[in-house]
């Protein structure tokens, strides 16, 4: 398997190999397989991507499919092509999948919304989704989720699935693909454990730098109904405007709810009032500024005012009740 000379972001097979994976002396496994049998393709892809009740419609008289991949358990570089119309559900719980479309079209549905993959634009896939592939050619990088979280140092770290990266993020990702794919994909490159780990960590670091992260608060509202969607809008608005002079009326309007509807929704799902929510977000923001602040050049009072706390004494008492220390101790200690 070698990188395409015309397109360094594409991975192409350079010859037939058995369906069973071959193992290099350094522990990486290599697999390349191709065919025209749709049932064989479904059996193969279902095993790798946990397809649930796939439905296939032929788009040509002779469907074609192929797959090539190199993996060591922490990192897998893969390319796939499946020239059919495929609808299915897919679940991948313990991996981070970064995908970008080479050809065809693909629509993923999750969380009550549908998003089309854009050719050449990498995104992190959700853990569970419905997909509709149409004659697709797809590149995939698969990372072990536990290793990603270990390297980041956050056991709850999660990417914000299907959010397009910035232009700089795309360039960051393309750079690591170009720099390391050739080394990883050649079976005659006998890589030491340190070299393999270096490539793995380079991909993880690039992913963390390139793709948006899902903040912890975004996981507090579970469910996909209209009320859940409106409540998430309310949370997004509060986190984006917590420094501003906002209150229940502004939050409710941003979420498309009445003030009473916002109060009921927050109480039902988060056991909070709008005031509780806003105060909590502002306290978190103030704490972040205190922890990052220069103790010789940062004023607790200035930070409190910046986050909407007009009374320094009440701010200090509320802060201590929440975090177990005074604002001045956070600034001085950290």
Q: What pLDDT was estimated at residue 111?
A: 72
Check residue 70 and give its pLDDT: 94
Q: CATH assignment of 2-210, given 2.40.30.200, 3.90.320.10, 2.60.120.10, 3.40.600.10?
A: 2.60.120.10
Q: Give how far Cα 194 sits from Cα of 67, 137, 197, Å.
A: 28, 32, 5
Q: What is the pLDDT of residue 295?
A: 64
The pTM for the full model equals 0.66
Q: CA 1 to CA 113: how far, in whole Å?
A: 36
> DSSP letters along 188-231, please?
T----HHHHHHHHHHHHHHHHHHS-B--GGGGSS---SHHHHHH
Q: What is the DSSP letter of 299?
A: -
What's the number of CA atoms in the CB half-sphere (13 Å) around residue 172? 17
Residues 6 or more apart in contact with residue 169 via CB below 8 angstroms: 209, 210, 211
Query: Would you state the pLDDT for residue 215?
Result: 65
Residue 310 three-state SS: coil
**CB neighbourhood size of 149 (10 A):** 16
Report the topology of domain 216-333.
Arc Repressor Mutant, subunit A (1.10.10)
Q: Residues 167, 168, 169, 173: is their CA dihedral positive or negative?
A: positive
Enumerate residue ranges in the chain where pLDDT < 50.
1-18, 334
Domain ranges, ordered by start, for the chain = 2-210, 216-333
Q: Check: CB of residue 143 under 8 Å from CB of residue 203.
A: yes
Cα–Cα distances in angstroms (integers) from residue 129 to residues 6, 90, 111, 227, in the given order: 32, 6, 8, 20
Quote the CA–CA distance of 283 and 311 in Å, as a whole number: 13
Residues 6+ apart with CB under 8 A from 255: 230, 231, 233, 234, 237, 262
Question: What pLDDT is attached to residue 9?
Answer: 38
Instruction: Copy the structure tokens of residue 179.
Output: 């720099």
């Amino acid at each position: 398997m070698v990188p395409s000379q015309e397109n360094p972001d594409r991975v192409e097979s350079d010859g037939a190999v058995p369906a069973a994976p071959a193992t290099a002396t350094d522990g990486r496994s290599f697999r390349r397989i191709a065919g025209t049998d749709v049932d064989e393709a479904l059996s193969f892809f279902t095993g790798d991507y946990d397809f649930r009740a796939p439905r296939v419609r032929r788009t040509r008289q002779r469907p074609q499919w192929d797959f090539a991949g190199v993996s060591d358990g922490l990192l897998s570089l893969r390319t796939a092509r499946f020239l059919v119309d495929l609808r299915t559900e897919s679940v991948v719980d313990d991996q981070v999948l970064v995908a970008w479309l080479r050809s065809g079209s693909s629509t993923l549905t999750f969380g009550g919304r549908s998003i089309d993959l854009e050719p050449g634009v990498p995104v992190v896939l959700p853990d569970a989704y419905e997909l509709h592939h149409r004659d697709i050619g797809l590149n995939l990088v698969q990372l072990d989720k536990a290793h990603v979280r270990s390297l980041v140092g956050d056991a709850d770290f999660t990417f914000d699935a299907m959010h397009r990266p910035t232009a700089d993020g795309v360039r960051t990702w393309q750079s690591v693909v170009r720099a390391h794919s050739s080394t990883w994909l050649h079976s005659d490159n006998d890589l030491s454990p340190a070299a393999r780990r270096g490539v793995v960590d380079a991909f993880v670091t690039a992913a963390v730098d390139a793709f948006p992260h899902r903040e912890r608060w975004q996981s507090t509202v579970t469910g996909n109904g209209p009320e859940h969607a409106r409540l998430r809008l309310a949370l997004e608005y509060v986190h984006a405007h917590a420094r501003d002079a906002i209150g229940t009326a502004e939050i409710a309007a941003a979420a498309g709810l009445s003030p009473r509807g916002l109060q009921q929704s927050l109480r039902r799902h988060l056991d909070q009032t709008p005031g509780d929510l806003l105060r909590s977000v502002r306290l978190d923001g103030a704490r972040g500024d205190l922890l990052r602040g220069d103790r010789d050049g940062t004023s607790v009072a200035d930070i409190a005012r910046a986050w909407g706390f007009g009374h320094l004494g009440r701010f200090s008492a509320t802060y201590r009740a929440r975090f177990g220390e005074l604002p001045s101790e956070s600034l001085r200690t950290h």
